[in-house]
Structure 1
């Protein structure tokens, strides 16, 4: 392994992908196994083992996921200013391991404690590994989008394995003879701790190949002062864990926080903009447009861990083409399965179109993402016409809905991460990436509210009536997604001007 490479040597790589991308790919893959494995278990565990009704569970899920992504802004900020990307990532991984171990020991008694550590840990880990991927490329390198698409495939490989295995084992539809019934949920949460250890080991053993990427921003600061700032950051993140626990357990506190953090982050961005040129600020405004629209995308998409999780458990049969599967496992992993199959292909299509100068710009790609999203939700709606008298409908048709949505995600998420790194100056890249994930926090938060409204409308209904209520709700979400896509395509010339030379 080559070490001590300069940034120029790293960015002047030959071929489609830099070798460092593979190392970050595998580190992120195992971290996403941890994250998506836990995500798929939350709502079902809250309803079945914490005695929450479906409305409360949706609100609780939205609050939990909102905090996970909201903290990425804070983690990105401290990485930019004090820890650097690498130390921030490592510290976040340690906290995630602690949280997963706590949940594995006794998820019923220590549920919110484990979530508290996991939330803070993800905030330090998630935005910084994406920022390091962006720094592997020069700003004008046309291979960047393909690189992020490939990296995103790693995200989804972890999400596929963890997303299916954890919930399938916990619910007892997989490895029933191996895992005792009273330990199924413990084992499900325990998987997350094991794979997170693998993720950190992968990163620590390969980080020398990154050269100067991700090192401390305080290299020129006196060592004693630097150490004090780093220790204060570590201590502060531990102190905030119990505060997060309280705020996650009480969703009204999450409401107050969400009212504050979004406007505060935008004001902070405007404060940072005074240090940049007019051209750089126009690009940051374009990034802000993408960030705002992504909120709506994730509010619909993230029904997967909330209302769609309950829909899968209550209203889907358990076979596709004669193969018996866990409906909730499929709901939690089908999207990742399709991403793995098509992410590299979509990335190569972008490269093929770029060479012929016919590649759609980022705004058009975002618009297409919403149109695909609308199509997928309308397929979820049409599952109601295939239901039996018990309110059970086709898992196969439901899965096809995720197939369509996957192309929408591939037009937005990897392209969005790439755009954030292209549109932001390097000094503020981690903050911008944090804002990108903060938009996901708002999406998760609104996803919980939308799911709670659907659940409330179906309260005390029969299973067949519940199916119709959920399906009609997805039909409405499809309409909203289509409108957002059309609006984005319509304003694309204006946003393109703000982006200037960035495509």
Structure 2
């Protein structure tokens, strides 16, 4: 497999695999840690989801700046190493039980990802620009993408075992160690990189960096501060008088205003021949925001679904294997005479007084009476964060099939255009939400636990949508962007991802406000169907622009 590819590929593949190992291990336990009432921060669903949404939004916002700095000033090798070390340090600090350290850790991860994520992908592309490897570019990126998902798949098993055996801090430390291994592997391949890691410098037609700071970054920071400080109208449902739900959401939305205005100005100031391609890209950016808003619920609302509403009890051989590997934990059932439960607490009467017993396993709250164990007996349940391996597992299985499907269509000259693939990706993603609507119905609106196969089915369908849409988005940016602003337009793709991620946090924070959980998923379905209809409405114009550029 490797022989026909650049010698650097195995090192880039493995370093990216370890980087994703660290990132997805951390994401898989992040909201669970925040909500833990004993060893975490006892946050509510709303608080944890809001912080999660802000975090992953900023993680996808910084690659725009990190890519520009690497292109013009640092070069790719230095940027990747700096980013990797910052992320590793951030993961290590995340397990220290202190709010200040948590925010410092998140900041390091946000900045580090900005330097690492865009530049290792760009570096890989540099090798495939050589004539001898040009025809292998798609295959090289498919191999690289598999590395991402191998890391994302295996990490949750380590995270689960370490959290059960030693606690949250050691799980976060494993994420940090994985990141440091990724940096070491990357440096081991130095002799194969040649001049591909060198900076390009400022090219003719590039926007000067000081203008980017003055017209994008500085206004964004100012607007963000205004958003944080300004208050909305106080009411019974908005006691803290936020405008969009929380200080962080207000700040983020306000900070995006100058950036969105800037991208709009690119269209109006563009040369006549560039107007339509830029307009097409901006339309795609706007539509895919809604995809990311729903897709990124995997680390928040769907993690909550796995934790509270999924039957995680295991028996027999599975129980023996999972217990020996520390992928499951035993919990004891004690029938509480008051039958009163609070999130993470059991209310217990002692000497006429009611006290809270910390970390009572609320797992039993929605177990049917005839399925509850005997008083004082124990059952084994698999660790919640293992559900985060379902999506990357599907990616590993489905990527070769999707690639083969499009190769078959290409051979018959029936391969759809890139915008058409994105439109069908949105439609397929919308259908995945109906699986969760059915799961709510089967579980009588959360009063009974349902099989994990509902989550497996949901992730399976949305993964097909992801494979139709995510790689295609990057492809269409590279195809349609005017050469002098390719980096800026790639930044626009990351911006749309970032806004979608923040919207995902806002959506997840509303989970507890829905008495009927099916309505939560119906809202997600409506958002994706709206995006689908919009994309199909734009399809004729988008395909026309692609034809004008002589590309598919």
Give the TM-score normalised by the residue count of structure 2: 0.73
Contact in 2 for aligned 1:168/1:329 (Cα 8 Å): no
2:62–2:113 contact (8 Å) kept in structure 1? yes
For the Cα contact (< 8 Å) 2:267–2:275, is it kept in 1? Answer: no
1:454 equivalent in structure 2:
511
Structure 2 partner of 1:204: 187
CA contact 2:93–2:105 (8 Å) conserved in 1:
yes
Relative to structure 1, is the Cα distance of residues 272 and 497 closer, same or farther in structure 2, using a 3 angstrom cutoff? closer
**SS of 1:110's equivalent?**
helix
Alignment match of 1:401 (pick from 434, 455, 458): 458
Aligned positions of 1:278-317 closer than 5 A: 278-279=272-273, 282-317=276-311
Note the residue ranges of structure 2 that are not aligned, 5 or more in a row: 204-209, 211-216, 229-244, 320-327, 329-381
CA-CA distance at 1:127 after TM superposition: 1.6
2:517 to 470, 478, 490: 470
Q: Which residue of 1 aligns with 2:414?
A: 358
| Distance change (3 Å), C-alpha of 1:82 and 1:109 | closer
Give the CA deviation at 1:494.
0.8
Q: What's the TM-score once normalised by structure 1's chain length?
A: 0.79
Structure 1 pair 265/476, CA: closer, same or farther in 2 (3 Å)? closer
Higher helix share: 1
Query: What CA distance in whole angstroms lies between the structure 1 residues aligned with 2:542 and 2:137?
Result: 20
Cα pair 2:75 2:200 within 8 Å, conserved: yes
2:154 matched to 1:148? no
Segments of structure 1 that go 5 or more residues without pairing to the other structure are: 1-12, 173-178, 221-228, 230-235, 459-468
Provide the residue aligned with 1:10 in structure 2.
none
Give, in whole Å, the separation in 1 of the partners of 2:260 and 2:10.
32
Correspondence for 1:488: 535
**Cα distance 1:80–1:432, how it changes in 2: closer, same or farther (>3 A)?**
farther
1:66 paired residue number: 57
Provide the C-alpha distance between the structure 2 equivalents of 1:57 and 1:333, rounded to a whole number of angstroms.
21
- Residues 493, 136 of structure 1: alpha-carbon distance in 2 compared, 3 angstrom cutoff: farther
Which residues in structure 2 correspond to 1:91-170 (within 5 Å)?
91-106=82-97, 110-137=101-128, 144-167=137-160, 169-170=162-163
1:81 match: secondary structure: helix
Local SS of the residue matching 1:260: helix
RMSD: 3.5
Whether the 8 Å contact between 1:134 and 1:421 is mirrored in structure 2 is no
2:83/2:116 contact within 8 Å kept: yes
User: What pairs up with 1:356-395 in 2 under 5 angstroms?
Assistant: 356-387=412-443, 390-395=447-452
- Larger RCO (CA within 8 A; separation ≥ 6): 1
- Provide the rounded CA distance (Å) in 2 between the counterparts of 1:471 and 1:327: 25
CA contact (8 A) 1:286 1:498 kept: yes
Rg (Cα) greater in structure: 2
Change over 3 Å in CA distance of 1:431–1:199 after alignment to 2: farther
Whether 1:28 and 2:16 are equivalent positions in the alignment is yes
